[in-house]
Amino acid sequence: MASSNRLSYPSRLFVWLLGYSLLLAGCFILFQYHREKEFKAEALNTRLQGVNHLLLAELARGIAPDSITPADINAPEGLRISIIGRDGHVLYDNSLDTLPDSNHLDRREIVSARTKGEGYSVRRHSSTTGHTYFYSATAAADGLVVRSAVPYTLNLAGVLHADMGFLWSMGIVTLAMCIIGYFATRRIGQHLLRLNRFAARAERGERIYDTSPFPPDEFGSISNHIVRLYANLQQAIADRDREHARALYQQREKERIKRQLTNNINHELKTPVASIRLCLETLIEHPGISEEKRLDFLRRSLHDTDRLQRLLADVATITRMEEAPASITKSPLDLTEVVADVVADAHPLAEAAGMRIEDDIDFPISITANRQLLESAFRNLLDNAIAYSGGSRITITAQIADDRRAVRISVADDGAGVDPRHLPHLFERFYRVDKGRSRATGGTGLGLAIVKNAIVLHGGRIEAELPAAGGLRFIITLPLG
């Protein structure tokens, strides 16, 4: 409750500055007022001291006090003149008919005159005349004191009063200081309030995007640094959370893929294992079976065993690329040579299928890669085209990108192609366009998945498209160097 009634920091800052300004101006005004009043009193005393010295000179010549006219001593009209003896009694006073019996040795101007030679008293009431005077006294060498006095009237008070113009000037200056102080403290206070609101929002952990820049001064620089530090912290936290979410997603996706892979492997294993079991059971249960039938069952078992071997090899390859990509070593090699070796190995299989492979890459392509994985990728592409395209020709071409940072390799056939709806799924594991034909040819359904993983592992990408002339084309992009 008490904190809600407190003034805001800008208001307190302005009150402090206002109090400081008023105190400073007040002290200066009082000092200047006292100085000016003393100066004017000293000036009046100097004038009256001149009159006193002239009067002492006349008295030294033996002229009686009542014979001295104001003109003789250059005195103004109405000037009261007193002569006080060494014992402190008044010997002469031109304003009194009867001299007082009181002793004047304790008068301020008399005490000062007897000790310093002269003295004055700004304002003192006279009990003998009933008036208030400005007294100025001068002592002679013989101890006689001459005192002149000017009635303290309204005119004399005005003369001795401080200049009101100065007071008004100081008042205006003080007001200007207060106005400037108000706007200065208001500006600083607003920035402090903004920084305080920012700190409160930051403490609550809010995301802050709409903080406008602070002024281009030291305070604004500090505030901007604080805002930028918090923004960087927010960005770091957001990046951390995003990376954590991505890692968590990748982990879950990896686990999902593992489960899917396991299920698919189980599914893929059922058929060859069941076929092998059936063949073996038939051979055991019918020992008198003909030699031709017995060989046929053995060939089927061998075929399914080869299929199982290929499936396990493909699964091992994919697992190695996914589980331990850092363990796959890379070295500089000529991709043109790799493709040529793969084409040479696939040439007999292509001839047996009535197809020819045209390797049109006739320039060296230097890359850093794992030779075994790239050979496996291109071998799978060629085997896939030979087994499923139904065409007569496979063409391999290459083109260096305009920025000379990558190479594009095309592997295309002139076969029947595939339905466009299959294109987005060609690189999925165990995805088959024609399931029956794929199993009949011994395909594992992992060939194109291995190709994609191998290319991605080398920082590249692979795409499948249907050329206008027919067939199916795979385009591989790999970084050079």
What local confidence, expressed as pLDDT, does residue 3 receive? 47
Between CA 283 and CA 289, with CA 286 as vertex, the angle to 5 degrees is: 85
Provide the strand spans (E) within 43-131.
80-84, 90-93, 118-125
Question: Got the DSSP string for 413-466?
Answer: E-S----GGGGGGTTSTT--SSHHHHHHTT--S-HHHHHHHHHHHTT-EEEEE-
Average the pLDDT over 159-184 and give the result: 70
Q: Encoding tokens for residue 201? A: 């929002």
Q: Encoding tokens for residue 78? A: 């109405």
Q: What is the distance between the alpha carbons of residues 312 and 315, in angstroms, rounded to a whole number?
A: 5
What local confidence, expressed as pLDDT, does residue 437 receive? 47
- At residue 4 the predicted structure's pLDDT band, cuts being 50, 70 and 90, is very low
Examine the pLDDT at 82 and tell me if it is beyond 80: yes
Residue 450 burial (CB count, 10 A): 23
What local confidence, expressed as pLDDT, does residue 154 receive? 46
Looking at residue 75, the DSSP 8-state letter turns out to be P
Average the pLDDT over 137-152 and give the result: 88
Burial (CB count within 10 angstroms: exposed 0-12, middle 13-18, buried 19+), residue 469: exposed
What local confidence, expressed as pLDDT, does residue 131 receive? 81
The larger pLDDT score, comparing residue 344 to residue 199, is at 344
Examine the pLDDT at 157 and tell me if it is beyond 60: no
Average the pLDDT over 123-132 and give the result: 78
Examine the pLDDT at 117 and tell me if it is beyond 70: yes
What local confidence, expressed as pLDDT, does residue 124 receive? 77
What local confidence, expressed as pLDDT, does residue 213 receive? 66
Element (H, E) at 294: helix 291-323
What local confidence, expressed as pLDDT, does residue 368 receive? 92
Mind listing the pLDDT tens digit for each residue in 357-386?
999 999 999 999 988 888 888 988 998 899
Mind listing the pLDDT tens digit for each residue in 257-293?
667 666 666 656 676 788 888 888 888 888 888 888 8
What local confidence, expressed as pLDDT, does residue 478 receive? 93
Identify which of 2-6, 232-236, 372-376 has the greatest average pLDDT. 372-376
Q: What is the mean pLDDT of the chain?
A: 80
What local confidence, expressed as pLDDT, does residue 435 receive? 52
Average the pLDDT over 390-419 and give the result: 91
